[in-house]
Amino acid sequence: MLSVERIRALCAVAEQGSVAAAARSLYVTPSGVSQQLAKLEKEVGVALLVQVGRGVQLTQAGRLLAQRGQDIISLLAQAESEVASLDSDVAGELRIGSFSSASRVVVPRAIARMRQLHPGLEVSFVAGDTDDLLPAVVGRELDLAVVDSWVTMPLHLPEDVICTPIHQDVADVALPADHRLAAAEQIELDEVADMPWTTWRKGESFHTWLVQTLRMRGVEPEIRYEVPEFAAQLEFVAHGLAAALIPRLARIWVPDDVAIVAVHPVLRREIFAVRRKDNDRPTVRAGIDALSEVFAAISGSGGPT
């Protein structure tokens, strides 16, 4: 009978594209992966990989076995999830990831609530960009992730995940308090086309979203300050250096020299809890419930200001 761990190693190479990357994703050494693959080739009696330059490439047999292996691993995970669901106790490990503003406002409260309700539950957490969190869920590095999807830049979800809507958020424009539109109730983004901008670093999803959103409104943004934290961006605004788009969820504190003005049309985003289809363990359901409850409490209180 084929070893599941050896199948997992082959699938990791197929997904990651190299033995070294597969080893990193499995938290083992490259030599360990190579040994597993060599044993797997002996078990099946055919070559699964060929050397190509300094790397490796799957043979036709390797690709077939990796494809079937993914199905096997998914079925095993689903079976484990169903067996775990027979137990009424919520216990074990839950690995959560989230984008930045939810990491600060929501996740600590949700984890504290889970610890209170389920003493046998061990929760670990990592903050990251939505573009990094989704692959981590698909690759089973995370059990659950909190991700965002802007209306002006919808998120494309992999086929093997399920998303649960848990919150709606809105972004407003932050302007220096002495700006000519600082007292306006609502503005169009093209009205501040002359302002430089501060946002997250190039390549991060919020930076891409801001550029795409402004271009859709006829504004070619001059992003002069790349600052990977909303509170720090507001300091640049407070000193009259730039404008910023700030989600309400991230608006923990606003300096006195900053005016927050609503944008028309409204810049909305959906926030989802994402899990794999084959991972419906009680621990995952408890995580989704806790996150939903904290988001609902924030909405009921008017949200961060």
Q: What values do phi and psi take at 15, rounded to 5?
A: -75, -45
What are the E-state strand segments in 200-266?
A: 222-226, 244-247, 258-263
Predicted local distance difference test score (pLDDT) of residue 301: 61
**What pLDDT digit, counting tens, does each position of 216-230 carry?**
999 999 999 999 999
Predicted local distance difference test score (pLDDT) of residue 83: 66
Half-sphere exposure of 69 (CA within 13 A, CB side): 22
273-294 burial code (b ≥16 CB/10 A, e <16): bbbbebbbbbbbebbbbbbbeb
Predicted local distance difference test score (pLDDT) of residue 294: 96
CA distances, 212 to each of 39, 152, 215 (Å): 49, 8, 5
CA distances, 127 to each of 90, 104, 146, 189 (Å): 24, 9, 10, 30
Helix, strand, coil fractions of the chain, as percent rounded to 5: 45, 25, 30
Domains within the chain, CATH numbers bracketed = 4-85 (1.10.10.10), 92-159+278-300 (3.40.190.10), 168-268 (3.40.190.290)
Q: Cα(164)–Cα(158) distance, rounded to whole angstroms?
A: 14
Predicted local distance difference test score (pLDDT) of residue 52: 80
Please say whether the beta carbons of 257 and 238 come within 8 A: yes
Please say whether the beta carbons of 268 and 151 come within 8 A: yes
Q: Bridge partners of 147?
A: 272
Q: Which residue has the tokens 């070893």?
A: 3
Query: Mean pLDDT per 10-residue run, the chain (305 residues)?
Result: 79 83 80 84 85 81 83 73 63 94 94 94 94 90 95 89 95 97 96 96 94 94 95 97 96 95 96 93 94 90 57
Predicted local distance difference test score (pLDDT) of residue 81: 61
**What pLDDT digit, counting tens, does each position of 9-46 carry?**
888 888 888 888 888 877 778 888 888 888 888 888 88
Q: What is the secondary structure of 149-188 as a DSSP string?
A: EETTB-----TTEEEEEEEEEEEEEEEETTSTTTT-SEE-
CB neighbourhood size of 72 (10 A)? 15
Tokens of 126: 């990592």
Q: Cα(38)–Cα(18) distance, rounded to whole angstroms?
A: 15
Give this prediction's pTM: 0.74
Among 90, 94, 99, 146, CA closest to 272: 146
Q: Cα(206)–Cα(233) distance, rounded to whole angstroms?
A: 13
Q: Cα(257)–Cα(255) distance, rounded to whole angstroms?
A: 5
